[in-house]
């Protein structure tokens, strides 16, 4: 489903105009991204939770150059399904 299809479907279900849904969708994404970038987790009831996680620095071996390289630490995003969504998807 594309963003356009998502917005159209949400507009039909909610009864709001497409422009209003676009603005609301954009605001929601901005709020989630801002909170995650600040190091906070975000939970959306019935959907799941997003949490930033720090991956530690690690050493890897490059077989082409036959040398070890250090991969710096980085922040990744973790997602966990809610129990309600897991049940709905029959993933128990």
pLDDT digits (tens, 9 = 90+) for 1-43: 999 999 999 999 999 999 999 999 999 999 999 999 999 999 9
The Cα–Cα gap between 29 and 91 comes to 26
Higher pLDDT, 90 or 18: 18
Greatest Cα pair distance, the chain, in angstroms, is 61
Note the pTM of the prediction, 2 decimals.
0.73
Helices (H) and strands (E) counted in the chain, each on its own, are 3, 5
- CA angle at residue 62 from 71 to 75, to 5 degrees? 20
Q: What fold does the segment set 3-88 form as a domain?
A: HU Protein; Chain A (4.10.520)
Q: In what order do the strands lie in the sheet with 42-44?
A: 42-44, 48-55, 74-81
């Amino acid at each position: 489903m594309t963003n356009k299809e998502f917005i159209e479907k949400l507009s039909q279900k909610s009864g709001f105009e497409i422009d209003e849904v676009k603005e609301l969708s954009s605001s929601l994404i901005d709020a989630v991204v801002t909170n995650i970038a600040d190091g906070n987790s975000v939970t959306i009831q019935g959907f799941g939770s997003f949490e930033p996680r720090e991956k530690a620095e690690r050493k890897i071996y490059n077989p082409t150059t036959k040398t070890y390289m250090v991969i710096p630490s980085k922040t990744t995003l973790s997602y966990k399904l809610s129990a309600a969504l897991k049940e709905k998807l029959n993933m128990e």
